């Protein structure tokens, strides 16, 4: 992929209140650069409510509405309708929400906003647990992962929210990863150019929550892609396409074993060899599903 | 111009005249006809507003919060379960100082399911930071909905404002309603698009950032000051409205033989009519009795009520709200008004009309007789047939 030129302007200011090595702030910085200053943010209860910094200061140099946990997509719906009614069609309205605020408590509002088709970019930064309240399991926590409410490992699966959003037949769904800023820039700009509700789902490594040293954030994010645990793709008006390094990973032999990703994180420390094998199997099955989608699209000449 | 309207349609006509930019609401009996009528107005082009057809009340309030945060004039309406479902975000609207206007058609809460009137839902909002009116007729629904915008958007107030009215007895009952011509409404209501507390990309700011205790208390104190200012602003708005429309609302309450009676009924909402009839009959028999109906419930008119109680020996507060384990909100407010004034009338609180039970003239007379016989404290009036 061609190297893309990022604007120099920083819209996430220094002095924000995130932990060192926070994946969410890496994502935020690039997302805001991609969108520029004419961007209205809506943020529900989450780590990002804290990252914004305490009153009367703010770490965001774009307008920002904080809102109750379940309410972000609805607040953005009203906001974008108001801005359009008041003659402002030249701005972005962006929800920036955690995984809990998206796949769990905020899902009803998100589904409604998607069905209604408001012109919103909804971004979920997925640190795979409720981090703000101290690492509790969410519907986006991966199977077997330790959290404070799954002390022996998560018995459930991870909700596949991008697929659920694609099933709403919205115009654009894509995944992001902080180790691939070019891919972020491309997808966020593309999302901004399409009318309707666009859903972006970003992996967001979290040193205290995932139990790793803060200097490993980008390495872990990259390993998530290289092992195939995190797939970079977009669904553009219903057409599925792998992007970035994920394009070359349909062939299993090109993927690193998942253990390389798992072993760097304390939240997976308790896993047995069988557990790791099971996770490997789940990842491989997901890739088989992707391969089927691609073959099916090819057959249909898409 | 006069039109025969239900309370709910009167609300819709007032909203049409207020020309909001964004409306968002979710159906619930008995509120639904408001949003159906507003949908017609929007679809026919009579009202140039965006209607956000949300998937829940929580989202309805959130949507008007989002809209109001960028400067739009907004409206929503709900009842009962719907109000409780949006409860969290109602408090958000007040804390964020957004001048949203909401209609609340009061309805009992389940279980058991009931669609009939009771004010429990309304009272649950009393500490939320909303300015709260209660109307007793379709005309008042219309008039107070317009005044709600005058108060909410006043720069000294900037608080969400709600108007409550009773299910069916007002919401679905047709009455002649005098409408205010649009040009006059435009002159009465604040100018659109000049509000200061608005998010703008030209001047980025954050609304609702985490505040440490020393800042939080100051921000909340600002809300209290705004609520205190609303007393004066509501009075002024009521007087101005009176000049323009010929119906004066400068008092937060309506009085029938208030100042010169030994015993005073205090009521709210549509049961008042029967209370007034009871007062008339009782006075014919030589009883010294009057009635005060609260119209502006928050900020509560403590001074006005305290003044009335100075000359009264007793007060019968009729609450249309189930309350358990404590005095009902209205009684507590009335007695606080008396105490703050340094007077101590004997008090009988009557919980009546719960879940839509009719409260008739005979019931009011019965309450009065009980009071005369020495009943004090709290009682439920089961009434009915
Ligand atoms: C209605 C409600 N329930 C619970 C909370 C407490 N709460 C605040 S943030 C949070 C977790 C947020 O998790 P997520 O959305 O994943 O964001 P993260 O903190 O991980 O960035 C919770 C449970 C709340 N603020 N509101
Ligand atoms: S807990 Fe995790 S997501 Fe939250 S600020 Fe710290 S690193 Fe970021
Ligand atoms: Mg999270």
Chain A residue numbers with beta carbons less than 8 Å from the beta carbon of B54 are 74, 77, 112
- Report the C-alpha gap between A96 and A186 in whole angstroms: 18
Of the candidates B71, B93, B73, B226, the one whose C-alpha atom is nearest the C-alpha of residue B157 is B226
**Residue of B66, B86, B195 to mutate when probing chain A, most A C-beta within 10 A:** B66
Q: Give the mean model confidence (pLDDT) for residues B47-68.
A: 98
Which ligand has its closest atom nearest to the C-alpha of A126? 3
Q: CB–CB of A192/A200 below 8 Å?
A: no
Q: What is the pLDDT of residues A228-252, one digit of tens each?
A: 999 999 999 999 999 999 999 999 9
Sign of torsion over alpha carbons A242, A248, A249, A250:
positive
Distance, CA of A103 to CA of A99 (rounded, Å):
6
Query: What is the tens place of the pLDDT at every residue in B156-173?
Result: 999 999 999 999 999 999
| DSSP per-residue string spanning chain A | -PPPPPPS--SB-TT--PPTT-HHHHHHHHHHHHH-SSEEEEEESSHHHHHT-STT--SBSS-EEEE-TT-HHHHHHHHHHHHHHTT--SSEEEEEEESIIIIITTHHHHHHHHHHT-SEEEEEEE-SSBTTTTSB--TTSPTT--BTTBTT---SPPP-HHHHHHTTT-SEEEEE-TT-HHHHHHHHHHHHHS-SEEEEEEE---HHHHT--GGGHHHHHHHHHHTTSS--EEEETTEEEE-GGGGG-SSGGGSPPTHHHHTT-GGGTT--HHHHHHHHHHHHHHHHHHHHHHHHHHHTT-
**A contacts of B201 (beta carbons < 8 Å):** 37-40, 62-63, 91
* Contacting residues of A for B69, CB less than 8 Å apart: 65, 75, 79
The per-residue pLDDT for A130 is: 98
pLDDT of A267 above 60: yes
Shortest Cα–Cα distance, B279 to chain A (Å): 48
pLDDT digits (tens, 9 = 90+) for B333-362: 999 999 999 999 999 999 999 999 999 999
Chain B contacts to A (CB-CB under 8 A): 21-22, 24, 49-50, 52-56, 58-72, 74, 88-89, 92, 193, 199-201, 204-212, 215, 219
Q: Is the CB of A129 under 6 A from ligand 2?
A: no
pLDDT classification of A3: cutoffs 50, 70, 90: low
User: For residues A109 and A286, what is the distance between their CA atoms, to the nearest angstrom?
Assistant: 28
- Assign A2 a pLDDT band (cuts: 50, 70, 90): low
ipTM of the complex model: 0.97
pLDDT (tens digit per residue) in B173-198: 999 999 999 999 999 999 999 999 99
Owner of token pair 């309030």: B61
Mean pLDDT confidence for B251-280: 96
A79-96: pLDDT as tens digits? 999 999 999 999 999 999
Is the CB of A82 less than 8 angstroms away from the CB of B67? Answer: yes
pTM of the model: 0.98
User: What residue of B is the nearest CA neighbor of A61?
Assistant: B204
Q: What is the pLDDT of residue B259?
A: 82
Mean pLDDT to the nearest integer, A32-55: 97
Which residue is listed with tokens 């699966």? A157
Chain B residues within an 8 Å CB radius of A83: 70
Domains, chain B: 2-245 (3.40.50.970), 253-381 (3.40.50.920)
The chain A residue lying nearest B23, using CA atoms, is A78
* A55/B contact by beta carbon, under 8 A: yes
Instruction: Answer whether B114's CB lies under 8 Å from B79's CB.
Output: no
Task: Map out the domains of chain A with their CATH numbers.
Answer: 2-299 (3.40.50.970)
Whose CA is closest to atom 5 on ligand 1?
A: A69
């Amino acid at each position: 992929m061609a190297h893309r030129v990022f604007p120099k302007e920083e819209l996430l200011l220094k002095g924000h209140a995130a932990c060192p090595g926070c994946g969410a702030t890496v994502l935020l910085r690039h997302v805001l650069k991609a969108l520029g200053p004419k961007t209205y943010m809506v943020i529900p209860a989450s780590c990002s409510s804290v990252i914004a910094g305490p009153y009367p200061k703010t770490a965001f140099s774009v307008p920002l509405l904080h809102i109750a946990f379940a309410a972000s997509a609805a607040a953005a719906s009203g906001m974008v309708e108001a801005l359009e009614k008041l003659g402002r069609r030249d701005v972005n309205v962006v929800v920036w929400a955690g995984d809990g605020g998206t796949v769990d408590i905020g899902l009803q509002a998100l589904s409604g906003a998607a069905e209604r088709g408001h012109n919103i970019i909804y971004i979920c930064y997925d640190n795979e647990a409720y981090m703000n309240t101290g690492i509790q399991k969410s519907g986006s926590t991966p199977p077997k992962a330790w959290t404070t409410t799954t002390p022996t490992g998560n018995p459930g699966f991870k909700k596949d929210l991008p697929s659920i959003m694609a099933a709403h037949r919205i115009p654009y769904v894509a995944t992001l990863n902080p180790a691939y800023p070019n891919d972020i820039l491309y997808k966020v700009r593309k999302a901004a150019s399409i009318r309707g509700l666009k859903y972006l789902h970003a992996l967001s490594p979290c040193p205290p929550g995932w139990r790793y040293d803060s200097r490993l954030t980008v390495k872990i994010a990259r390993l998530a892609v290289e092992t195939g645990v995190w797939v970079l793709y977009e669904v553009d008006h219903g057409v599925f396409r792998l992007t970035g390094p994920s394009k070359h990973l349909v062939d299993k032999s090109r993927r690193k074993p998942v253990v390389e990703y798992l072993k760097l994180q304390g939240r997976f420390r308790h896993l047995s060899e069988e557990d790791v094998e099971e996770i490997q199997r789940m990842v491989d099955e997901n890739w088989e599903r992707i391969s089927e989608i691609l073959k099916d699209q090819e057959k249909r000449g898409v | 111009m006069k039109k025969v309207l239900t309370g709910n349609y009167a609300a819709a006509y007032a909203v049409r005249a207020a020309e909001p930019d964004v409306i968002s609401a979710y159906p619930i009996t008995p509120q639904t006809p408001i949003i159906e009528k507003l949908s017609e107005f929007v679809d026919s082009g009579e009202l140039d507003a965006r209607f956000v057809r949300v998937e829940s009340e929580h989202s309805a309030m959130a949507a008007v919060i989002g809209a109001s945060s960028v400067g739009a004039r907004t409206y929503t309406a709900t009842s009962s379960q719907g109000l409780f479902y949006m409860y969290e975000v109602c408090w958000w609207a007040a804390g964020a100082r957004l001048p949203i206007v909401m209609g609340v058609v009061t309805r009992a809460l389940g279980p058991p399911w009931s669609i009939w009137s009771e004010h429990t839902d309304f009272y649950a909002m009393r500490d939320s930071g909303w300015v709260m009116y209660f109307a007793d007729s379709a005309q008042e629904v219309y008039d107070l909905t317009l005044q709600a915008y005058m108060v909410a958007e006043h720069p000294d107030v900037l608080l969400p404002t709600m108007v409550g009215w009773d299910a069916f007895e007002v919401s679905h009952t047709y009455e002649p309603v005098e409408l205010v011509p649009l040009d006059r409404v435009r002159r009465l209501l604040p100018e659109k698009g000049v509000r200061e507390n608005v998010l703008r990309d030209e001047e980025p700011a954050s609304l609702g950032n985490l505040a440490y205790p020393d800042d939080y208390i100051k921000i909340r104190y600002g809300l209290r000051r705004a609520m205190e200012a609303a007393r004066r602003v509501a009075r002024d708005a009521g007087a101005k409205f009176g000049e323009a429309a010929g119906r004066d609302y400068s008092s937060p309450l309506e009085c029938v033989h208030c100042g010169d009676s030994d015993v005073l009924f205090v009521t709210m909402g549509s049961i008042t009519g029967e209370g007034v009839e009871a007062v008339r009959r009782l006075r014919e028999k030589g009883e010294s009795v009057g009635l005060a109906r609260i119209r502006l419930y928050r900020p509560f008119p403590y001074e006005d009520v305290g003044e009335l109680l100075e000359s009264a020996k007793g007060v019968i507060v009729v609450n249309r709200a189930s309350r358990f384990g404590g005095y009902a909100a209205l009684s507590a407010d009335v007695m606080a008004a008396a105490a703050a004034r340094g007077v101590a009338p004997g008090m009988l609180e009557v919980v009546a009309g719960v879940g839509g039970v009719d409260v008739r003239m005979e019931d009011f007379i019965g309450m009065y007789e009980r009071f005369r016989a020495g009943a004090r404290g709290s009682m439920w009036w089961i009434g009915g047939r």
